[in-house]
Amino acid sequence: MTDRWISDGLLIVTVKCIPNSNSNSQIDRQGLVSLYNPIRTSSNPTTPIQIGNGNFAFGTDITSLQTFLPFNTLSSWGWKNDSLPPNVTQSDISAYEGVSWLNHGRPVQYDFNGNNKEIEQWLISNPNRVNLGRIGLVFLDDKNGVMNVTEEDLKNPRQILDLWSGTITSTFSIQNTSITIKVASSSSSSSTTNTIAIHLKSNLLSKHQLGLFLDFPWCDGTSKFNAPFVGSFDNFQTNHTTTLQTLSPFRNIIQHTLDSTTFVTTLNGDAHTIQRNDLINHKYTVLPHIQVTNTNHDSQWTLTVTFGKSTTDQTLQAKDIFKESEKVWEDYWSNGGFVDVLTGSTDTRANELQRRIILSRYLMRVNEAGDTPPQESGLVNNGWVQMYFWHSAHWALWNNWDLLLRSSSIYNRFLPTSISRSQIQQGWPSGARWPKMTDPSGRSSPGQINNLLLWQQPHPLIFAEYEYRSFPTRETLEKWENVVRETADWMAAFAWFNESTKVYDLGPPAYVVSEDTSPNVTQNPAFELAYWKFGLGIAEKWMDALGKNVPQSWIDVKNNLAPLPVDNGTYMVYEGIEKNFWDDPAYTSDHPALVGLHGWLPPTDGLDLAMAKATAEKVWTHWNRTEFWGWDFPMLAMSAARNGEPDRAIDWLLDPLFQFDDAGMPIGGTRVPTPYFPGSGSLLLAIAMMTAGWDGSKEEKAPGFPDGWNVTFENINKLL
Ligand SMILES: *[C@@H]1O[C@H](CO)[C@@H](O)[C@H](O)[C@H]1NC(C)=O
Ligand SMILES: *[C@@H]1O[C@H](CO)[C@@H](O)[C@H](O)[C@H]1NC(C)=O
Ligand SMILES: *[C@@H]1O[C@H](CO)[C@@H](O)[C@H](O)[C@H]1NC(C)=O
Ligand SMILES: *[C@@H]1O[C@H](CO)[C@@H](O)[C@H](O)[C@H]1NC(C)=O
Ligand SMILES: *[C@@H]1O[C@H](CO)[C@@H](O)[C@H](O)[C@H]1NC(C)=O
Ligand SMILES: *[C@@H]1O[C@H](CO)[C@@H](O)[C@H](O)[C@H]1NC(C)=O
Ligand SMILES: *[C@@H]1O[C@H](CO)[C@@H](O)[C@H](O)[C@H]1NC(C)=O
Ligand SMILES: *[C@@H]1O[C@H](CO)[C@@H](O)[C@H](O)[C@H]1NC(C)=O
Ligand SMILES: *[C@@H]1O[C@H](CO)[C@@H](O)[C@H](O)[C@H]1NC(C)=O
Ligand SMILES: *[C@@H]1O[C@H](CO)[C@@H](O)[C@H](O)[C@H]1NC(C)=O
């Protein structure tokens, strides 16, 4: 287990301007978006209402801050390393070696089952993402004593997230005095600092009875999977320190050092005093300096809180942050892809589907649009990171290139380490082997599945292809050239020519998409064979477009891959699997990638469409449905759509087991915590496909939607 993001990605690129389509939009975009503004009248104990920008997110309770519940403040830049285990040095860490397994008789070195468990665990736990701090309200009595206020003491609490401007507002009263809080996050991408703007309005301010507290938790590798709250606020002094630097009544700084990493929190804005509560904890109280007045007019107080890795000279004002948030969010809603399935639809589920689309669009931009590939739970809480495809491919179809290009650059960034993994560590003659789970340096996280999984390998080819479709220039071709070449080289090298059958086999050893087969016997998995063929086809076209020779090995492998394994009229998970695997829960309780043969993937050479459809339908009846989770539902929908069954496609998207909460957070279910964002990313991918269609789909209307749906879409690209 690891919190990590998967490797997959590519070059940093300048952001292209996409023409504003709002002005001539057929859809009342603002009206539709605003219909789904989440409104709460009490805190949800497990999911926050968030603001953020993809690299940073701030999760709030009913007060639009973190007053009663310590929801998290997470970023894509806030990492730390734990100190090394006793007697372990950095060179011991660098010298970590896993295990050697045979690949068709050749020993290959992998990062798992190393003989030093302590070092292996350290490599799994580090670096880990830090909860940058907590901000809440402090209530004082008329003698300046801190009052013990609980959420039950608030009267008429109401919190609303305004999706169109990315701001949250809470109102409530306490002791007959009303309080209004409005917050927004800095919206443009910054890889080192991010800011929260807070605007408070209440009579209690001028009476010196309302202020803020800040608190800083200890975080380490053990909090890597903490949900919904990350880190410990009780570990007062042992391993971390905070120091306050008071600069002026308008600007103050707190440094937080955990092991050898320091984060800096800067307060900036209206006059205030700040003090540490005592020397044991890491809690600070911030009180406004406001003249006591006799009027009953509400006083106002604004402050920005900037989290960063170092001090900045920035003196951001709250009003600038609010303005920026309005502009960036309006641009996002106005310019990217947009889908209206609500207006004019007669299916009663249209409202729920529209809600999921809008809220997923919001949450993806807050949580899954950073410089590094996202965690499964985005920036809501900590969780492991993988499946970059499901998290991020939708950005390409919804034309949010500025957001996708932030992270897809990792393919170029991780190319050297992936070449080294392939050729130096594992002894392959050529190519780059992409890791499944990695860290900001590109290192593969130790683990058997992480090291033997195959399906992450072709992903960069898909991202490259979508980018080329949108930006069909030589520049795009050249930007991806090395990644495409090294990716395909390893795919060709890994395919093993079987002298007795005269075809190229994939594996063993290998893990399939569902990660539930035995790696040493897993050979020629159906989905992976098809994905190899599809990926190599893209790589060939890439070289053709560049006017360069296509390596013969790619052509040989693509044309002579083992046939997809078949039995009694359906495809099988892998060649040699028990024929009755359909009735064995060991094989029918996880991701049903067989339905991806025609749906997620377009038809590959030699695919029998009738058999692919029969296979999908057999999955529907034989897989344990209560075990479907997350992206399985959109994958099932995409398969139904491509197989010409749009009624079923809609049923899968709205399956009772595929749930999104009131804030749009996809429910994790029994296997993973909520939110499980691959559910949202895959939903948006499926919606794009079902509206704009796919290569070869009928053009006349949204081909994945059945009668009863009036679907209007703008600026959405087709699925391959
Ligand atoms: C953690 O340590 C690794 C070396 O093991 C180093 O590459 C990385 O930069 C460190 N990260 C942080 C956040 O300190
Ligand atoms: C503090 O760090 C040491 C090692 O650096 C570790 O053994 C200990 O568990 C940590 N304490 C806490 C409370 O996390
Ligand atoms: C660290 O190494 C020293 C010297 O080899 C040894 O005496 C000590 O017990 C070791 N400590 C731990 C915690 O392993
Ligand atoms: C797979 O084969 C390797 C030898 O190549 C062996 O060491 C390992 O234990 C086997 N793993 C399993 C899960 O059978
Ligand atoms: C605050 O009040 C709540 C409910 O009345 C109580 O459970 C809690 O222990 C109190 N906390 C403190 C610090 O007094
Ligand atoms: C709140 O106001 C109402 C009427 O305005 C009054 O009856 C009540 O006593 C007040 N409560 C407090 C706690 O001041
Ligand atoms: C379908 O939706 C579009 C866009 O919202 C709307 O203009 C049109 O009137 C709707 N058609 C029907 C039949 O309601
Ligand atoms: C060659 O392919 C056959 C049929 O798939 C398989 O049984 C055999 O194990 C393969 N040979 C080797 C050496 O892997
Ligand atoms: C083959 O599939 C048919 C349905 O298509 C089924 O009725 C039959 O039992 C299957 N045969 C075997 C041997 O599994
Ligand atoms: C399906 O999975 C559920 C757990 O989600 C389990 O309780 C049930 O027994 C399984 N059904 C079958 C037929 O295996």
Residue 631: inside a domain:
no
Domain that holds residue 47: 33-80+131-316
Is 90 inside a domain boundary?
no
Instruction: Over range 339-346, report the average pLDDT.
Output: 97
- CB burial string 451-484: b at 16+ within 10 A, e below: bbbbbbbbbbbbbbbbbbeeeeeeebbebbbbbb
Residue with tokens 């092991």: 259
**Cα(258) to centroid of ligand 3, in Å?**
25
Percent of the chain with pLDDT over 90: 85
Q: Per the domain annotation, does 648 fall within a domain? A: no
Same domain, 140 and 288: yes
Whether residue 711 contacts residue 339, with contact meaning beta carbons closer than 8 Å, is answered with yes
Atom 10 (ligand 10) nearest CA: 624
Q: How far apart are CA 258 and CA 37, in angstroms?
A: 37
291-308 pLDDT, tens digit each: 766 566 779 999 999 999
Same domain assignment for residues 610 and 468: yes
Q: What is the pLDDT of residue 296?
A: 63
Element of type H or E holding 248: strand 240-248
Query: At residue 80, does pLDDT exceed 90?
Result: yes
- Mean pLDDT in residue range 142-168: 96
**Is 411 among the domain residues?**
no
Mutate to test the pocket of ligand 4, among 520, 521, 522 (most ligand atoms within 8 A of CB): 520
Rounded-to-integer distance, Cα 200 and Cα 179, Å? 7
CATH of the domain at 277: 2.70.98
Ligand 2 touching residue 220 (CB < 6 A) = yes
For residue 86 and ligand 3, the question of a CB distance below 6 A is answered with yes
**pLDDT exceeds 70 at position 426:** yes
Prior bond to 446 cis, omega within 30? no
Which numbered ligand comes closest to the C-alpha of 712? 7
- Per residue in 246-301, pLDDT (tens digit) is 999 999 999 999 999 999 999 999 999 999 998 888 999 999 998 766 566 779 99
- Contact present, 165 and 31 (Cβ < 8 Å): no
CA of 35 to the centre of ligand 7 (A): 17
Indicate the number of domains in the chain.
2
Question: Which helix or strand (DSSP H or E) is residue 567 part of?
Answer: strand 566-567
CA of 571 to the centre of ligand 9 (A): 13
Asked whether residue 668 is domain-assigned, the answer is no
The pTM of the full predicted model, rounded to 2 decimals, is: 0.94
Q: How far is the CA of 163 from the centre of ligand 1 (A)?
A: 36
Whether 150 is in the pocket of ligand 5, judged by its Cβ within 6 Å, is yes
In a domain? residue 478: yes
With 90 as the cut, is the pLDDT of residue 189 above it?
no
**441 and 297 assigned to the same domain:** no
Domain boundary among the residues 625, 650, 666 is at 625
Residue 579 φ/ψ region, left for φ over 0, alpha for ψ in the -120 to 50 degree band, beta for the rest? alpha
Residue 536's domain is classified under what CATH number? 1.50.10.10
| Mean pLDDT estimate for the chain | 93
Checking if the pLDDT of 228 tops 50, the result is yes
CA distance 382 to 624: 28
Is any ligand 9 atom within 6 A of the Cβ of residue 580? no
Say yes or no: 307 and 427 in one domain.
no
CA–CA gap between residue 565 and residue 23 (Å, rounded): 52
Residue 567 has pLDDT above 80, yes or no: yes
Domain contains 513:
yes
Q: Which atom of ligand 9 is nearest to the CA of 579?
A: 14
Ligand 4 surroundings by CB, under 6 angstroms: 101-102, 519-520
Residue 14 class from Cβ within 10 Å (0-12 exposed, 13-18 middle, 19+ buried)?
Answer: exposed
Minimum CA distance residue for ligand 4 atom 11: 520
Residues 669-710: pLDDT tens digits? 778 889 999 999 999 999 999 999 999 998 778 999 999 999
Least distant ligand from the CA of 346: 7
Tell me if 717 is assigned to some domain: no
Instruction: Answer for the pair 286, 274: CB distance below 8 angstroms, yes or no.
Output: yes
> What is the number of other CB atoms lying within 10 angstroms of the CB of residue 507?
25
Q: Domain end: 591, 625, 659, which one?
A: 625
| Three-class SS state of 396 | helix
At residue 14, does pLDDT exceed 60? no
Pocket test for ligand 10, best of 624, 628, 632 (most atoms within 8 A of CB): 624
* 568 in contact with ligand 9, CB cutoff 6 A: yes
Give tens-digit pLDDT for 87-125. Answer: 999 999 999 999 999 999 999 999 999 889 999 999 999
Give the residue from 266, 299, 316 where a domain finishes.
316
Q: Is the CB of 89 under 6 A from ligand 3?
A: no
- The full DSSP string for 636-677 is HHHHHHHTT-HHHHHHHHT-TTS-B-TT-PBP-TTSSPSP-T
Encode pLDDT of 492-510 as tens digits: 999 999 999 999 999 999 9
Which residue's C-alpha comes closest to atom 1 of ligand 8? 498
CA of 569 to the centre of ligand 9 (A): 8
- Which string of DSSP letters, residue by residue, matches 96-125? ---EEEEETTEEEEESSS-S-HHHHHHHHH
Span 456-486, pLDDT tens digits: 999 999 999 999 999 999 999 999 999 999 9
